[in-house]
Chain A
Amino acid sequence: MAAHKIAHATLKGPNVVKEICIGLALGLFAGSLWKMHHWNEQRKTRTFYDMLEKGEISVVVEE
């Protein structure tokens, strides 16, 4: 019985540094997906206002 407990106590657990690194990598990946969405929206907004400025599109209904 004692031997079984000792054997169990020496089992290696997870590597903390490795887990933190994987967690950070996943977090940064998810964050970068959001950033890509944000940059895409900014680009669409900028394009919209550029086209509005140039007169290519209009938000005013012609009479």
Chain B
Amino acid sequence: MIEVFLEWRFLTIAPCDAAEPWQLGSQDAATPIMQGIIDLHHDIFFFLILIFVFVSRMLVRALWHFHEQKNPIPQRIVHGTTIEIIRTIFPSIIPMFIAIPSFALLYSMDEVVVDPAITIKAIGHQWYRSYEYSDYNSSDEQSLTFDSYTIPEDDPELGQSRLLEVDNRVVVPAKTHLRMIVTPADVPHSWAVPSSGVKCDAVPGRSNQTSILVQREGVYYGQCSEIRGTNHAFTIVVEAVPLKDYGSRVSNQFILQTN
């Protein structure tokens, strides 16, 4: 019964990998990194609940016992060495328990995949994105490039999410190590996809790199996370397809773009 209540109260599973109205928690994880982030949040939340309940209990009991009408003459306690030692040491142990999984996740997020299968360059513009697939051309050929514009508010088809859909999605293969190189063409941007646990800043004059491994096929939505002018919140849509379909999907996309 308690479990049912807790599930109702904390139910945060989003049926699609995009933000839901009144959503309380994270979107479902699509990568091991995002799963690690969610697990770390749950670990820290345990301590948060412990401290909150303990402190609330102490506060309520103090207010109850030392009410001015029941206890008009307060005790004059100056200090208590034992309790002071306990209340210093015990809270300092809690951050140690938080730090261990936190640093483990932090360093695993920073690990760069040595030999990713695919490298995709995401270039931020005001106010659209362009993506380059450079793995399929020799050095003197031009990379496969396409632009990705957010579908305007008055233009979506039935079933599409408002201000979240784009005309050309980034197609990536699922269960494959990818490298994303993020850079801007003009002002600072940020390539963020919450369900993948990715937020990579695009800093002018610099290319930032992040590794992604999408664990399941699906369509993942994100938004630019660095304010960059009027039409700032242009969106990112990553479509993870089965590896066997990846080649045909990407080539179809470039054919459509060329036409």
Contact = CB atoms under 8 A, between A and B. Distances in A.
Interface of A: 5, 8-9, 11, 13-14, 16, 19-20, 22-24, 26-28, 30-31, 33-38, 40-42, 45, 49, 52, 59-60
A59 B216 contact: yes
A36 B46 contact: no
Nearest to B61: A19
Contact of B45 (A14, A34, A40): A34
Q: Is the interface of A mostly helix, strand, loop or mixed?
A: helix
Contact of A26 (B53, B73, B217): B53
- Chain B's interface size range is 35 or more
B49 A31 contact: yes
Interface in B59-97: 61, 65-66, 71-73, 75, 83
A13 to B, nearest CB: 6
17 contacts: A13-B66, A16-B83, A20-B58, A22-B57, A27-B51, A27-B53, A30-B49, A31-B47, A31-B49, A31-B53, A34-B46, A34-B49, A37-B10, A45-B29, A49-B216, A60-B241, A60-B242
B256 interface: no
B217 A59 contact: yes
Contacts of B154: none
B57 A13 contact: no
Most buried by A among B7, B29, B50: B50
Nearest to A49: B215
Given A23-B57, A27-B53, A35 B46 contact: yes
B60 to A, nearest CB: 10
B252 to A, nearest CB: 14
B111 interface: no
A36 B83 CA distance: 31
Contact of B73 (A5, A33, A37, A38): A5
Given A27-B52, A30-B50, A37-B3, 8 more contacts: A13-B71, A27-B54, A31-B46, A33-B2, A38-B43, A40-B7, A52-B216, A60-B241
A12 to B, nearest CB: 11
Q: Which 7 A-B pairs have the closest CB atoms?
A: A27-B54, A23-B57, A27-B53, A27-B50, A38-B42, A31-B50, A23-B54
